Structure 1
Amino acid sequence: MAGYNKNFELTVDDIERIEAALRLHKQAVSLERLALLEETDAPSDTTRSDLIDKELSAIHDLLGRLHNQKIFYRPAKAKKAPYVSG
């Protein structure tokens, strides 16, 4: 029986493309959710709304996990100095 590959060889550009695709998909699903909320003449479809909410949550969580795996650069000389962003 085949197992899962736990070693991925993705570049930073690959991860950026994945994140961009997830953001676009999240935007499309969000717009679908808004359109569903704006339908006033149709009865509310709670099952479709729940599915959309679960999908949005899953995409948001995945984007968060990708973000948390990034290592942000900070020069070694600045370790003792206070951090100033921007």
Structure 2
Amino acid sequence: MPKYNLKFDLTPNDMDLIENALRFAAANASDEPRIDAKSANELLGRLHNQKSFYRPKGPYISG
């Protein structure tokens, strides 16, 4: 489960809503000329890069 950057005044549910709206906008960009799919995807990338993902401190053995 990703851990969100605490510098934002947004909850994880807010971030999820924003990401889903951006994905929807990028997928339907051809229907709405005001929406640029490239800029929506770039913003999604910037949001993704600010997340802190869980990494185990010790060695991880799968399987």
**Fold conserved (TM > 0.5)?**
yes
Query: Over residues 47-70 of structure 1, what are the superposed CA-to-partner deviations in whole Å (9 max), with x where a residue is unaligned?
Result: x6xx76xx1111011000001101
Residue 14 of structure 1, CA deviation:
0.8
What is the deviation of 1:25?
A: 1.0
Matches within 5 A, 1:8-47: 8-30=8-30, 32=31
Structure number having the greater helix percentage: 1
- State the alpha-carbon separation in 2 of the partners of residues 29 and 68 from structure 1: 23
Counting aligned pairs with the same residue, the percent is: 43
Matched, 1:63 2:44: yes
Q: How does 1:66-77 map to 2 (within 5 A)?
A: 66-77=47-58
Per-residue CA deviations over 1:31-80 (Å, capped at 9, x if unaligned) read x38xxxxxxxxxxxxxx6xx76xx111101100000110111011123xx
**RMSD of the TM alignment (CA)?**
2.5
Partner of 1:39: none
Superposition misfits of 4+ residues, deviation over 2 angstroms: none
The count of residues paired between Structure 1 and Structure 2 equals 56
**AA partner of residue 40 (structure 2):** I
CA distance in 2, matches of 1:56, 1:72: 26
With normalisation by structure 1, the TM-score equals: 0.53
Indicate the structure whose relative CO is greater, using CA pairs within 8 Å and at least 6 residues apart.
2
